[in-house]
Structure 1
Amino acid sequence: MQFLYPIGLLALAGLMIPLVIHLWNIKQGKTIKIGSIALLGESSRASSKSFKINDWLLLILRCLLLVLIVFLLSQPYFKKTASSSHKAGWVLVDKTIFPSVFKTHRKTIDSLLKKGYEIHNFNVGFTQLTLKDTASNETKQINTLSYTALLDAANQLVPSATSVYLFADHRLNRFGNELPAVHYKLNWIPINQADTLSSWITTYAGKKYEAKSNPSHTTYQALNSADEAPINIAIQEAPGTTDSRYLIAALKSISSFTGRKIIINPQVGKADIAFWLSDEAVPANFKSSIASKGTLFQYEKGKLIATASFMDIDGRHVKLSKRIASPNQAEKIWTDAFGNAILTNEKTNDLNSYHFYSRFNPQWNELVWDGLFVKALMPIVIREKNPYDFGFEDHQADQRTFSAKQQEITEINTVGATTITIQNESLAPLFWIAALLIFTTERILSFRKKTDYVKN
């Protein structure tokens, strides 16, 4: 037994009250003078007191009543510990494929059900399923939510450290940009797809490609044989810097991926895109070398700010160490963690200008080391109406899967399956019942004693 407010036990000092009342409950006698003895000499006065306790039972009951009141003030409780080492878990499976999954993994699912596992739909709401759903003939609706979103949502419903068996494929297109972190014990059982080869037609920058996909990779092959005009790119950097080598490597990757010919610093003709990698102002002759409706990407000069932040590019984060103070009026393309502009865009009648408030330099940021660098430059180099998905589309028929050696899901706070629950059970009702019984007994005994005294 423990007390919520132990300081209340100091009130036990009140036990002295009934004891003092019992010991000093002595009535003073009255002296009555009688006339026949008035002439006799008055003897010396003498008095006596007895501190004898006459009724021990009443004293004990009253003391117990005070003790119970003190305990109630201290709010006693009993700490109860419940441990469960065989807690049932969840089975997650998409309802639309549950019949085929049950047919293939019947022994595993039956074994889990005998252990008390519940089957839930791996979709919004996570509704509970039964074996009757294996015979369902409902129209199949494709689940378009990513596994990342669903596993994150399950964190709100599945108790921590609970064992969860998930029956789902390992296709990359079902995940978001980040792998989820879960607080339950996830056992992923991959299901085999009937078709592991697929193809589709897609269009990039006005050019049609045939995509062919299998579990290991996806390839694109151009269909139209007409030669496209090359992309002329001019690059000018400040003396003593080597930022251009990172940019050129990314441009070559874009050329290899898209099949578009890219000419860097052409000897003749105007540039479609120009990169000015210098703190100095862009000279007029460099701007005049850009074709009409072309693009200018330029470094901005200003107050240097050291920061421990990141660049936000299409929802992905890249470490940022330095930046240039930037205005907030322009259209922001890339930002830092605080919403400050890192790349802005403005369009005029003859020029599409990008203003970069950092550098293509590892001392400024880690963009040049990240595979995101190529994707980030893609909409600038290959001008497309829908640039953010260009060359990196998420197609439903994409068959690529995780490698068996690749870490998939991060588990947090999953120390073990044993769940220990500590509950504080209040003992106040028992003390109130005991106090009522003792008070009733004390009143009955006290009333009887007064009645006997009157009779005598």
Structure 2
Amino acid sequence: MLQFLHPIWLFGITGITLPVMIHLWNHRQGKVLAVGSIALLQETPRNSARRVQLSEKWLLLLRCLIIILLSVILAGPQWKQPASAAAKRGWVLVPRQLAGAFQHQVDSLVKAGFRGHYFEPGFPDMDGDTANGPQQDYWSTLALLQQAVTPEQPVYLFTDRQLRHFSGERPRVEMDLHWQTVAIPAPASPDTLADTSRQFTIWAGAHAEDAAFVQAALQAIRQFSGRQMEIKVVSTTGALPASKDWLFWLSEAPLPAVQAKHVLRYMPGKPQPEDSWLAGYTDLVVRRYVPSAAADARWQDGFGHALLTTDGTNYSAYTHFNSTWNGLPWSPRMPGLLLQLIYPGNYPDAQLPDHAAVQPLQVKGMARAAGTPALSLVRAGWLLLLLLFVAERLAAGWGQKAGGA
């Protein structure tokens, strides 16, 4: 792709009138031939008008090209390789140890054409390996990312906001960055790791998508809490284990005779449209809910409508884990909310206070090394101009010899 550093090349297009005028000004008059007698010459009628005709058209063309090329050279032409289709696609990044917590968000963007990378130096492609990565500083890694993408590429970044991942000055970047963060509970203590394993069974039934979101949230809890958790998704009653610690009955159908210490089930009823949020989390929208007469709720919307109630052992959900009902499925807050249900307690951790605290400073017009460097065409232009000048001088000399012959 040809680029110019200065619009002076436009004057070269209009400047071709100059060599045309010079060319016409130098138009030679006819030569006078001396003869011995004009008696035998027949008189020719005089033309009432004299028409100017172009001669030596190739010479005129060379002079016009010289003017145009000179103006192009002064404009500083550069050739930049056009970005390929793959390079124009956006990136989605997540720290290697957080891949499970943001699995659905990442998978959705990858299906939309984004390229998945781990958020670590070198930005390797995601290959399914979700082992814990090295301790790193998010802001310094973001500075490296600034040099790997172009300002036009959309970048989706998913991280936690634990304080140990942020140090130094807030970075200055220029990119189309969408950075989402989540509060992650602190790693489990040694006595927590000694807990016996718990079984979590998720009944999919007619809500397979809801089951996938709950499964991903439980996997994130297992990964970060260090708890021993067996997670199983079933879609037939025959596959239900005889006993279980937790059963997520994601269905409005009657609950079968099962042995479970805790049950979370969808409550039947006609859903009502809603335009609210989850109480305490204004970023989690609530779109629908099933009306309930419960006065005390574990979760409720901004208008006080019950979304999740409990008797201490079992939970009744008047909402669904589905994006048509609320914003939980695509929110990084979902693992933390479920954690408080299945492992109640306090999970302190030093974290930045809010999402805005991690955002870098956006600076327009930053110097950057991303992309293919532009190739200057100035040197080649001067060489071509020299060749055109030599050709013009040779053509002018041949024209003079032809006219004097």
TM beyond 0.5: no
**Normalised by the size of structure 1, how large is the TM-score?**
0.35
**Normalised by the size of structure 2, how large is the TM-score?**
0.39
Normalized per residue, the structure richer in strand is 1
